[in-house]
């Protein structure tokens, strides 16, 4: 099951296509989905989570809580729509493209991919690009 919720006034477009795309990505990574929760929120809301749980006093676009056991993904991802909008502008991409990049980034972390070393960052970016390219092939429900 995949749930999308907001702590701000954000409303996700193309919910069915997004859900199918996430399921397809998990399957390509050899994972099933038990429960994934995406929570869209403000910079301030995510900063509080980042400080409270990770002891990081910085803004970020996503914080992922991974409860996965075995090959069934289970977790929560908190995404700052403020940060996504700022990064989309900074990188010259559409908001929804950057949002999908962040959403798949969290999923890839749950599949075991890191982003600390240069090699990990390169692999993560390649995976993100791959799944962004699959966006248009996700079958609407």
**Is 57 annotated to bind ligand?**
no
Edge to edge, the sheet with strand 2-6 lists: 2-6, 32-41, 72-80, 62-66
Q: Hey, how many other C-beta atoms are within 10 angstroms of the C-beta on 43?
A: 18
Looking only at Cα atoms, what is the longest distance across the chain?
40
Structure tokens at 126: 């390649």
Q: Are β-strands 62-66 and 72-80 bridged in parallel, bridged antiparallel, or unpaired? A: antiparallel
**Is 109 annotated to bind ligand?**
yes
**Is 56 annotated to bind ligand?**
no
- The binding site for Zn(2+) comprises 105, 109, 115
- The binding site comprises 105, 109, 115
């Amino acid at each position: 099951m995949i749930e999308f919720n907001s702590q701000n006034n954000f409303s996700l477009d193309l919910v069915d296509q997004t859900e199918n795309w996430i399921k397809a990505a998990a399957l390509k990574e050899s994972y099933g989905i038990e429960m994934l929760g995406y929570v869209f929120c403000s910079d301030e809301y995510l900063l509080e989570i980042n400080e409270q749980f990770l002891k990081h006093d910085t803004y970020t676009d996503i914080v992922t809580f991974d409860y996965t056991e075995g090959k069934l993904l289970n977790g929560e991802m908190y995404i700052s729509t403020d940060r996504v909008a700022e990064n989309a502008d900074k990188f010259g991409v559409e908001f929804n493209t950057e949002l999908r990049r962040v959403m798949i980034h969290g999923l890839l972390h749950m599949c075991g991919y890191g982003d600390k070393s240069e090699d990990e960052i390169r692999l993560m970016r390649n995976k993100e690009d791959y799944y962004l390219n699959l966006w248009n092939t996700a079958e609407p429900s």
